[in-house]
Amino acid sequence: MKVLVIGSGGREHALAWKLTSSPQVQMVYVAPGNAGISLDKNLQTLPLTDTVALREWAQAHDIGLTVVGPEAPLAAGVVDEFRAHGLRIFGPTQAAAQLESSKAFSKAFMQRHHISTAAFQVFEEADQAHAYVDAQGAPIVVKADGLAAGKGVVVATTVQEAHQAIDHMLALDHTGIQHTRGKPRVVIEEWLDGEEASFMVVAKGLQALALATSQDHKRLLDGDLGPNTGGMGAYSPAAVVTPEIHARVMREVIQPTLKGMMSDGIPYTGFLYAGLMISPTGQIKVLEFNCRMGDPETQPILMRLKSDLLTLLLAATDDAVGDLTQVDVEWDRRVALGVVMAAHGYPQTVRKGDAISGLPPADAHAVVFHAATQREGQQLVTAGGRVLCVTALGDTVRQAQSVAYSLVDQIHFDGAQVRRDIGHRAIKR
């Protein structure tokens, strides 16, 4: 079978890398992909991003399955377009993708279906938002209502910081945030204490099959300091998700979400990612939903997946295949840990074009997944914020960490930003 993966990041490199190991897969095309993807055997990149162009290409090239990596094509309706032409694609429809693309939608959804989340209010008027912050005090969290690549959230430790965030997010156009409606809105919510975990499932209607758990590192700097980013590193499994918490997340979050989507008339098929905050007393609250896999969480998760990903995704897209939850999925017992190498200036104004050197060859225990890389002649150069994700397996978190960092230390590009403490919470346990 020929498979198409849509996207260009480390997550898509990992999805494509895993899919090529399937005995049923002949070739994986990644659109638009990146320079690292085009280096791999059985992987080919395509310079396409437009929804209709992708659908036409998939039809003309007999693509058996399309997998969508990022949120933007989902929010643009790529799944609706493919399905309308009878093509098999894994991901939620445009309507279902609102669970991620609009914070206001997802917060109202959680309220309606009794899924535990931080208390919140939505504002269009700056005056009212400022008054609310003054009444609530800090710490408090300000979120833009629209896709912002993980950068539309400010966890304000002071009231002043919250006021600044409101003014920035309610100003049109120059924020880089894709507002879901004409007028910008902010969601202001209660600050939650606890430890975060990324909980992802493969969903088909009311059926959900949980993937391995993971933990991301959202802040730019060691010790969870600095601005929020798309994620600076991740590991799997996340020890904070004990078997008891796992069962409760399925019962209290995942199942009510799938039921709620069904009863609201927008059944959900695709990866569903619940970003959780687990309080010191074991309370579970949903910080956000994503309608896709996490980046960089996908990289360590898929390094631990021993079963065939294609078989799983075919079961999730084929109505004739009975119960998705009966598909046998086996995980490597070892820990996988990925360290992101980001470009100079990330997550603000990113510098591009720095030459990358020292890339080690992939082996069975470590893979360098590419994200924003491109080729200039013979030279590999940086092409955006997150450049590489160096991912390694080990018997313990420390061992996986030590392999990953020994590879990171061999790789060079000017201005590289790397956190040195990925996995610190697991090590502290």
Binding residues vs ligand AMP (CB under 6 A) = 118, 141, 143, 150, 153, 155, 189-192, 196, 218, 228, 275, 287-288
Distance, in Å, from the CA atom of 373 to the CA atom of 382, rounded to the nearest integer, reads 5
Rounded to a whole number of angstroms, the minimum distance from the CB of residue 393 to ligand AMP is: 25
> Which of these, 92, 335, 107, 288, lies nearest to 202 by C-alpha position?
92
Distance, in Å, from the CA atom of 395 to the CA atom of 336, rounded to the nearest integer, reads 9
Rounded to a whole number of angstroms, the minimum distance from the CB of residue 238 to ligand AMP is: 13
Dihedral sign (CA 412, 418, 421, 423): negative
Asked if 313 and 384 count as a contact pair (C-beta separation under 8 A), the reply is no
Nearer to ligand AMP, 218 or 425 (CB): 218
**Six-digit token string for 155:** 């966890």
Beta strands in 215-299 (DSSP E): 215-216, 219-221, 225-228, 233-236, 269-278, 284-290
Binding at 287: pick from ligand GLY, ligand AMP, none (beta carbon under 5-8 Å per type): ligand AMP
| Residue 81 makes contact with ligand GLY by CB under 6 A | no
Query: Minimal CB distance to ligand GLY: which residue?
Result: 231
The amino acid occupying position 61 is H
Distance, in Å, from the CA atom of 338 to the CA atom of 175, rounded to the nearest integer, reads 29
Binding at 228: pick from ligand AMP, ligand GLY, none (beta carbon under 5-8 Å per type): ligand AMP
Rounded to a whole number of angstroms, the minimum distance from the CB of residue 375 to ligand GLY is: 26
Nearer to ligand AMP, 153 or 301 (CB): 153
**Six-digit token string for 178:** 């894709």
Distance, in Å, from the CA atom of 368 to the CA atom of 390, rounded to the nearest integer, reads 4
Nearer to ligand AMP, 66 or 298 (CB): 298
Distance, in Å, from the CA atom of 414 to the CA atom of 195, rounded to the nearest integer, reads 33
x/- track of binding to ligand GLY for residues 207-226 (CB under 6 A): ---------x----------
Helix, strand or coil, per DSSP, at residue 321 = coil
Q: Interface with ligand GLY by CB under 6 A: which range of 53-61, 292-300, 328-336, 347-355?
A: 292-300
Rounded to a whole number of angstroms, the minimum distance from the CB of residue 293 to ligand GLY is: 7
Member of 98, 257, 269, 290 binding ligand GLY (CB under 6 A): 290
Binding at 196: pick from ligand AMP, ligand GLY, none (beta carbon under 5-8 Å per type): ligand AMP
SS3 for 25-56 is CCEEEEEECCCCHHHCCCEEECCCCCHHHHHH
Rounded to a whole number of angstroms, the minimum distance from the CB of residue 149 to ligand GLY is: 9
Rounded to a whole number of angstroms, the minimum distance from the CB of residue 292 to ligand GLY is: 7
Binding at 316: pick from ligand GLY, ligand AMP, none (beta carbon under 5-8 Å per type): none
Helices 309-317 and 10-20 pack at an angle, to 10 degrees, of 100
Member of 69, 73, 150, 237 binding ligand GLY (CB under 6 A): 150
Binding at 155: pick from ligand GLY, ligand AMP, none (beta carbon under 5-8 Å per type): ligand AMP
Contacts of 330 (CB under 8 A, 6+ apart): 305, 306, 307
Nearer to ligand AMP, 71 or 308 (CB): 71
Member of 33, 36, 231, 237 binding ligand GLY (CB under 6 A): 231
Which residues make up the interface to ligand GLY (CB under 6 A)? 150, 216, 230-231, 290, 294-295, 297
